[in-house]
Structure 1
Amino acid sequence: MSYQTIPDRLLTWLDVERVFKRETALWSQLPSGVHAIRCYSDGAEIEHSAALADVQAWLKQVFGRAWKIDECGIQLRTGATPYPVALSPVPATTAAAPAVRPYPLWREVTYLPDLTDRPLSDDGLAQSGMPALWADGPRLVSFHSFKGGVGRTTALMTYALARLKLDLRPGKALRVLVVDADLEAPGVTLWLDDANRPEVSYLQFLEAMHYPPQSVDSSLDYFAQALRKTAVNLSGSAQRELFVLPAALSLADIQDMPVQPGHLARNPANPWILTDHLHALGKRLGVDVVLIDLRAGLSEFSSPVLFDPRVDHFFVTTVARQAVEGTATVLERLHAFNSRLPSDWRGDAKPSLVLSLLTDTLRKLPDYSAAVDRLNSAYPATEDQTTGLEWLEADFAEPLMSISALSQALEVLKNAPRLFQHAQDWAKTLDAPEAVVAPSPAQTADAPKDKARRLEAVCQRMQFAETSQASEMLVTEPLRKLGRYFVTELPHLVSVGAKGAGKTFTFLQLCRAGSWHAFLSKLDTQADGVADALIFPALWSREFETPTKVLMDSRRQTCLTSLGSRAKLLGETAIYRAIAEALQTPPAHWDDFWDDLIAQHFGLPVGQGLEPLNQQLATHDASVVLVFDGLEDAFPNPKHEAARAAIESLMRLPDRLLELTSRRLGAVVFVRADYVQAAIQQNVAQFLARYSPFVLQWNPESFLRLAYWLASQAEIVGQDTPAELLGQEALLTRLTALWGRKMGSDQSKEALSARWVFASLCDLKGNLQARDLVRFLRFAAELEKDRSSNTWQDRVLAPESMRKAIPKCSTDKVTEAIREIEPLKHWLDTLAAWPEREMPFRAQDVGLAEQPQLLTALQELGVIYEDPKDSPGAPRLYLPEIYRAGLGFKTSTTGRTRTLSLLKSNAGLPF
């Protein structure tokens, strides 16, 4: 600020203080003989031992004509009376005010001079106040922009995805924590859905760290535990976890922020305490990297992180002049701050700059060159032939402009041009992951037909949970969430899934585990305070074979024995008779019916609710988890009013258990998705959202994981690495030993095998049931072991065996489904009048025009899909391949290509 402009800028006493701060480099470079300067609203005080004339001369030099020597004050433009300055003499021996350690706040950093050209040993602030380096734990990375809307959050999530997409080494997990620290305009926060929105926020984190209720450690433990519950497992892998700490739980919270990042940065003992706490949180979560999305602009919401030299900083800007000038200012101040670092720190503190939303046209404009020059000059290099910044570029891409959900971001960002490659290179620098291990010769030594026999046996054992005695299980994301949510309390939930999704299988795994701790152990989850409750099967399928029914009785008897009860086990026949009689003569309240049935299980009096059972469990220091399955057997018609009320009441049981004092009872209710739709007449979407983390469903990568797991059980692929530890590319590579790379030779133009299988088994929205894959592999293996040719020695399943297996799968699926799904049975009966069936078709062609409710039900089940893009009146109804053959439909040429097109547009053909 020049002599001429200073008087014109002095409007209030705060302007005077700003001038003093700038001239003294934030009080650190006081003139000789001046010991202290203090500014207040009613005047300033200068303590000095120098001659009065020297001090006045210095003030004249600083303030020019605004300094009024006669009034001993500084003239402000807003008043006639000068701002008084008291010049207080002190002895020369008086110690000067201690050097002020600058806090990482804009209001202080802005006054620091750039010391790049000064010997650090000559500067009192050279190493003063710099934070201690972290010895271990995650790397912290910040993303900042001067303006919003330049792609900062998109860039951050690209780097998160790149890290999570790396190939895994054996025993290595990839975990990332994303912190939405934009407390004025949250970005990642608004991408979260109910299933992965934690019950804690960054705003609460600041408050808990500033005012810890008990201790910082206990608060950190709490936040880590809460974030674990809502971790996003990339493609269902337990070893690829994304934790997100949202800015706030609601936008209303950020309108009242008593604690802000700047408050923590004002800690005189440790101005870097905020990043220390974030590092500690990441360490507790076991993450590799903490990515922090900072508030845009020159904000104190961002500065405590922005000026920490231990944090790896990325700045995102476009070539627009406003964005460039603002970013340049930030970089200049960061350069000045970093000039105080020891020389061996400066290289690590070098920031990265992402020039975003670029097009080929923009690169040819003068604005591009001007931006590069301006930004390079803002953070100059200290050596020739280098740049002070790491330069990265991100091209404009329309799909990145409309991201509205975290799942969408994780899907589209991997296709971001240029930047994703940069991000992958960066991600590899965090460690040195080993290459994926290819199948060894020993794993392929057996003849393919021997392997096919083993695969058939494995799938025969696994296909139907009711008849399976298998104790092995694949830990999928819903199961992992089930364990993660209930490590501190007894489970109380409804697990929803379509037929064949794994409900009964999971029910049996719970029963075989015998206790909640044992089940958590199966999920590779450590109990954290939850009681080791016994598993009590309260309702199960009547289709179970005798060994399984013996297991049910054994588990129930163990529970009764633990309570010292001599009650006789309530038999399966008695349970189903009680339900049948209640359906004939419905009780006044179905809640009472279920409570009484549970009480009868334990030999307790009926009519008193669940409190007596809970008290008895407490008396014996025992806990029990009630598990329910087999609703399809107990209630064949869920739309019958009495059945509907009974099912709804049972699904509300987990809520009723929460009303118990010192609860010793838990409950897991397994129910088919269409039963939920039939039973819940109001707010069904809200009900499903509550239990969305536990919905048993399969996505493309979990489909691969299941195929690999089954193949490993049959010793077709190596068992050196569990299925849960492998990413999509590794799974695809290893599964070539099962079904090859293509449905033909690698040089052919046939479809990729994994994609072909997925497209053949899923519905036209990309939904797939585990049982269908198990059934397909069983049929394909059965066909393969009987195939006379010895071709295709590079795989177990030949293409012809796989192709022939699909119609057999479809026939079996329809035969099985019509026994339990009334709308499908009704439609198949209707189809008898239409022996010639071709897809696509119109509703009137297959007896559905007069039955709109039936058509709607079939669409909800995923049996029929209507293409809205087809013209009205044209054939626009389609069947997924898994239903087509079983329902007796042929496919027209148009139908074949359109089916794949629909699947690609609706779900994206994976792999």
Structure 2
Amino acid sequence: MRLQMDTAQRLLTWLDVERVLKQRSVLWTRLPAGVLSVDCFASGLEVRHSADDRVVDEWLSKIFGNAYHRDQRCIRLRIGDSSYPVELTRDEGAAADIGQKNYPLWRDVTYLPIDETTTSDQLEQPAVQPIVEMPVGWASGPDLISFHSFKGGVGRTTSLMTYVAACMQEPGAAPKKILVIDADLEAPGVSFWLDEANRPMVSFVQLLEALHYPPAGLDATLSYFAQELRKTSLNVGGLQRELFILPAALDLAEIQDMPVAPEHLARNPGNPWQLSDHLHALGNHLGVDAVFIDLRAGLSELASPILFDPRVDHFFVSTVAPQSVQGMAEVLRRLYAFNRQLPAAQLENARPTVVLSMLTKELRDAGHYELALKALGEAYPTDDALSPGVQWLEAEFLSTLMSIGSLREALDTLPQSSRLFASATEWARGLYAEPLQIQTTTSADDISPAATPRHEQASRLYEVCRAAEFADSSATSVILATEPLINLGKHFANELPNLLMIGAKGAGKTFTFRQLVGASKWQHFLSKLGFDPANTTDAAIFPVLWSDNIEDKPDGEIKLAQNSTANLIQSDKQLLLSASVVRRLIEEALKAPPDHWEDFWDTLIARQLGITHGGLQVINQTLAKHSSRVIFVFDGIEDTFKDADNRHVNEAIHALLRLPNRVSELDNRYMGVIVFVRADYVQATIRQNLGQWLQRFQAFRLHWNPESFLRLAFMLSCQAGVISNDPKSAESLRIEDLKTELERLWGKKLGSEKSKEAHSARWVYAALCDLKGNVQARDLVRFLKFAASFESNRTGQTWPDRLLAPESMRKAIPDCSVEKVTEAKSEVAPLRRWMDLMEQSGIRNLKVPFSQEQARLDASLLGSLQELGVVYEDVDGALGEERLFLPEIYRYGLGFVTSATGRPRTQALLKKNIGAIPL
């Protein structure tokens, strides 16, 4: 609320005065220097202070504006123009009052600031105490899990029972015991699913009363309730799977006359968390694995003592209806404000889960779905731009779930909710998984990491990735048969390839070029991809243009391939041009452009084959004369032509890109052409029908989808010995097998299996891809290089199930981004122009999302950056001018920061654009 603007207009009674003071002092924990205590009574306001009266008057004037009258020392109320007296009591030498005891209840938590930008005049001095004393963690015993919703009828109870069903169906051999507590004391749910055989003679209402007024001690009380619950437990699929249900009440009369409620236990000054402690202890008496608590909906004190306990695993259920979303957003905002008091590690563990329920395809396609993601994501923000503050789950609408009438029917029917049940099954696996023995090294001997096998293995991975980062490092590396390369073999097993292979920077163009040149024969290259040589046409590989990163030595890969072709057609090897000569010929042609650049490229090929006159037709006839098929390959266009926007350069590149068209016009073709070219050069050169060009060669476009992304990570892990397998098996394993194998590299999640951290493979993919889902091979190699480097020098926690600790993976992203942007700036003209514009304009630390004007982007430059995947514009988000986003792989390197709205939007956009975050 706008306290400073409308405080005077909303003061109706003295209770409004008290509310304003509670808000501004964060429930009396932050008062101005010199103000010792503040007490509000129906008869007036009493302020005890040690400062000058004027200090207190100024403070009250700042809070209440013209509603505070200094001369009369009163606060004007609006009803009847009445006044509320203020009494100042000077008490020099006294200490500040530590304030009243606060509790985990809505009436107290509501005064926690939810905005991190609270101004200094609102919080005059540091808090003298936390608003609520935090609970002590449980060393052992069952997990506590709560399900809450703002509105009733949104599927809260069915969501809870879906998780219970998943626990009951968990395939492990160990016994399964679950306690469900119906704590909805206004509208019980699970209680009505009990039949007579499974209805205990005790209730949650009775438990509250017995805990508040224990007739024979706490242990005796809990033992009695445990004994009664055992009598009516439900066995599911045998004696080893047992379900206990504690109903809200034995009959509704108990609720209608309920002298003890959860808030009464929460008001215990010695331990405001005793309700959770007692329910945990009851679970211990029963020997259960988990205690599920179905809470009352809304902003009810019937739920708050459990709701604000950070030791409880909280699930919040909401539909995408605006009323449900707005209410749930308020719950999440208050929970976040409360949890911000926690230490960092506990704050991470306290992440809530939001279940969007009753979803249909129509609802997902409608605007309310995206608005719900945005509102709920912003209500519980995070400093980690790669992980949302809340864990998101979804539950589809099924009419069969609307008429469940018993526990057994629920356990049989709820697994049909495939989407939510899959999430619940994974959660149940984590519940019953063996805990990781994460060790922390503390001795002096462990300060140096050099001697441990883990550090040695990380060092090997670093070396493998450093060697693989740039394609010029080795011509003999193992090639991974990705989809574009498989398509190349499928289309051109029996005819000569004649095409452009387009790819973004880092997609593997030069690597593939070198694999072709190193193979020397088309048949040999296809066999490396897994094609049967007996069923493929053979041809020699002749490199015409290549990257500056490949050294042209007499016995090097370029000359070996060229010599092989020269031998086939018996041409003079002395005619073969060196790299420096090729570059000089191109430079001279750019200074004195030929009438037709097509003739220049034809001559460049012909001259090296000993052909002095004639174009492609003569070259083809010469090859036919010697019954020799040759594939001419071109790479390094970006090294040769630095500025594709230059007119003569543009004409030269355009002619080269049209070479496959001209070759296709030849009769009885003995030659083929493969031109490796970066996507932005095609965009800058082809002015008309660009879409048709791209579509024509789309099957061979070098890109890395989620599947090939996993296969590359697996292959590198095998080469480094992280995974004991043949690197070539990366091409044959199923995706699920790859994910399982890669757990040895980076674990299943960025935490334990029970944590709400992201799945590691999905997190890495989301961190490295752009907002269209495109990811580059070099970025993955670079990421693993940095993560391995950090791991090889890291001391502290050791994760026995993986090589790379989450800490090392998180630290790798900024360095990966900086290196990517630094490299791209020197080679990608649109990005370089944008960065220069921002540098000249002094733009620093721009926030995501941002506007076109803020970033000094004209329409043309913005279009180029969008095509490259550097910038994404969200035209459907109703964000106004600030609707431009950067993927994380560019954000760090460009020096952009994320706003509270930018973090969840980035995740939502990726999901929106590609349907779902893969892996």
Task: Give the TM-score normalised by structure 1.
Answer: 0.50
Q: Does 1:576 align with 2:578?
A: no
State the distance in 1 between where 2:397 and 2:569 align: 60
Partner-residue secondary structure (3-state), 2:500: strand
State the distance in 1 between where 2:595 and 2:608 align: 21
State the distance in 2 between where 1:883 and 1:397 align: 35
State the distance in 2 between where 1:446 and 1:664 align: 58
Partner-residue secondary structure (3-state), 2:501: strand
State the distance in 2 between where 1:898 and 1:567 align: 60
Partner of 1:875: 882
State the distance in 1 between where 2:566 and 2:527 align: 24
Q: Does 1:884 align with 2:891?
A: yes
Partner of 2:609: 602
Q: How does 1:311-322 map to 2 (within 5 A)?
A: none
- How far the C-alpha of 1:906 sits from its partner, in A, is 0.9
1:462 counterpart (461, 464, 468): 468
Partner-residue secondary structure (3-state), 1:500: coil
State the distance in 2 between where 1:662 and 1:563 align: 17
Q: How does 1:389-404 map to 2 (within 5 A)?
A: 398=361
Letter in 2 for 1:840: P
Letter in 1 for 2:761: A
- How far the C-alpha of 1:887 sits from its partner, in A, is 0.6
- Judge conservation of contact 1:761–1:773 (CA < 8 Å) in 2: yes
Partner of 1:723: 730
Partner of 2:758: 751
Partner of 1:845: 854
Q: Deviations over 1:145-189 (max 9, x none)?
A: xxxxxxxxxxxxxxxxxxxxxxxxxxxxxxxxxxxxxxxxxxxxx
State the distance in 2 between where 1:678 and 1:858 align: 12
Letter in 1 for 2:848: M
Partner of 2:714: 708
- How far the C-alpha of 1:398 sits from its partner, in A, is 4.1
Partner-residue secondary structure (3-state), 1:819: helix
2:640 counterpart (626, 629, 634): 634
- How far the C-alpha of 1:821 sits from its partner, in A, is 0.6
Partner-residue secondary structure (3-state), 1:654: helix
State the distance in 2 between where 1:564 and 1:540 align: 24
Q: Deviations over 1:287-335 (max 9, x none)?
A: xxxxxxxxxxxxxxxxxxxxxxxxxxxxxxxxxxxxxxxxxxxxxxxxx
Partner of 2:814: 807
Partner of 1:776: 783
- Judge conservation of contact 1:449–1:785 (CA < 8 Å) in 2: yes
State the distance in 2 between where 1:416 and 1:446 align: 52
Partner-residue secondary structure (3-state), 2:675: strand
Structure 2 unmatched ranges of 5 or more: 1-357, 366-395, 401-414, 419-450
Q: Does 1:676 align with 2:685?
A: no
- Judge conservation of contact 1:471–1:512 (CA < 8 Å) in 2: no
Partner of 2:457: 451
- Judge conservation of contact 1:540–1:629 (CA < 8 Å) in 2: yes
Partner of 1:45: none
- How far the C-alpha of 1:458 sits from its partner, in A, is 1.0
Partner of 2:430: none
- Judge conservation of contact 1:487–1:526 (CA < 8 Å) in 2: no
Q: How does 1:422-501 map to 2 (within 5 A)?
A: 447-501=453-507
Q: How does 1:894-909 map to 2 (within 5 A)?
A: 894-907=901-914, 908-909=916-917
Task: Give the TM-score normalised by structure 2.
Answer: 0.50
Q: Does 1:508 align with 2:514?
A: yes
- Inter-CA distance 396–846: structure 2 relative to 1 (3 Å threshold): closer
- How far the C-alpha of 1:546 sits from its partner, in A, is 5.7
Q: How does 1:7-156 map to 2 (within 5 A)?
A: none
Q: How does 1:336-415 map to 2 (within 5 A)?
A: 398=361
Q: Deviations over 1:555-608 (max 9, x none)?
A: 1112112221124221111111121222222222221111111001212104x1
Partner of 1:133: none
Q: Does 1:616 align with 2:622?
A: yes
- Judge conservation of contact 2:718–2:724 (CA < 8 Å) in 1: yes
State the distance in 1 between where 2:359 and 2:688 align: 44
- Inter-CA distance 640–528: structure 2 relative to 1 (3 Å threshold): farther
Q: Deviations over 1:749-806 (max 9, x none)?
A: 1111111111110001111111000000000001100112251121110011001100
- Inter-CA distance 782–469: structure 2 relative to 1 (3 Å threshold): farther
- Inter-CA distance 800–598: structure 2 relative to 1 (3 Å threshold): same
Partner-residue secondary structure (3-state), 2:543: strand
Q: Percent identity?
A: 50
- Judge conservation of contact 1:461–1:469 (CA < 8 Å) in 2: no
- Judge conservation of contact 2:709–2:777 (CA < 8 Å) in 1: yes
- Inter-CA distance 812–547: structure 2 relative to 1 (3 Å threshold): farther
- How far the C-alpha of 1:463 sits from its partner, in A, is 0.5
Partner of 1:834: 843
Letter in 1 for 2:847: E
State the distance in 2 between where 1:600 and 1:699 align: 40
- Inter-CA distance 547–787: structure 2 relative to 1 (3 Å threshold): farther
Partner-residue secondary structure (3-state), 1:843: coil
Q: Deviations over 1:532-571 (max 9, x none)?
A: 2111000001122466982101111121122211242211
Partner of 1:767: 774
Structure 1 unmatched ranges of 5 or more: 1-394, 403-414, 425-444
State the distance in 2 between where 1:553 and 1:825 align: 35
Q: Deviations over 1:689-740 (max 9, x none)?
A: 1111101111112211111111111121231571121222111111110000
State the distance in 1 between where 2:624 and 2:719 align: 42
State the distance in 2 between where 1:782 and 1:508 align: 27
Partner-residue secondary structure (3-state), 2:585: helix
- Judge conservation of contact 1:488–1:528 (CA < 8 Å) in 2: no
Q: Deviations over 1:653-688 (max 9, x none)?
A: 122222323221111111111111111121111111
Letter in 2 for 1:759: A
- Judge conservation of contact 1:742–1:750 (CA < 8 Å) in 2: yes
State the distance in 2 between where 1:577 and 1:654 align: 24
- Judge conservation of contact 1:496–1:696 (CA < 8 Å) in 2: yes
State the distance in 2 between where 1:597 and 1:481 align: 29
Partner-residue secondary structure (3-state), 1:518: helix
Letter in 2 for 1:603: G
Point out the more displaced range, 532-541 or 721-730: 721-730
- Judge conservation of contact 1:448–1:795 (CA < 8 Å) in 2: no
Partner-residue secondary structure (3-state), 2:472: coil
Q: How does 1:156-305 map to 2 (within 5 A)?
A: none
- Inter-CA distance 628–400: structure 2 relative to 1 (3 Å threshold): farther
State the distance in 1 between where 2:536 and 2:612 align: 28
- Inter-CA distance 619–400: structure 2 relative to 1 (3 Å threshold): farther
- Judge conservation of contact 2:504–2:678 (CA < 8 Å) in 1: yes
When the two structures are aligned, how many residues end up with a matched partner? 481
Point out the more displaced range, 767-776 or 728-737: 728-737
- Judge conservation of contact 2:524–2:533 (CA < 8 Å) in 1: no
Partner-residue secondary structure (3-state), 2:471: coil
- Inter-CA distance 871–570: structure 2 relative to 1 (3 Å threshold): same
- Judge conservation of contact 1:462–1:470 (CA < 8 Å) in 2: no
Q: Deviations over 1:82-121 (max 9, x none)?
A: xxxxxxxxxxxxxxxxxxxxxxxxxxxxxxxxxxxxxxxx
State the distance in 1 between where 2:363 and 2:475 align: 48
State the distance in 2 between where 1:461 and 1:746 align: 33
Partner-residue secondary structure (3-state), 1:645: helix
Partner of 1:699: 705
Letter in 2 for 1:841: F
Please report the RMSD computed on the Cα atoms of aligned residues, expressed in angstroms: 2.8
Partner-residue secondary structure (3-state), 2:893: coil
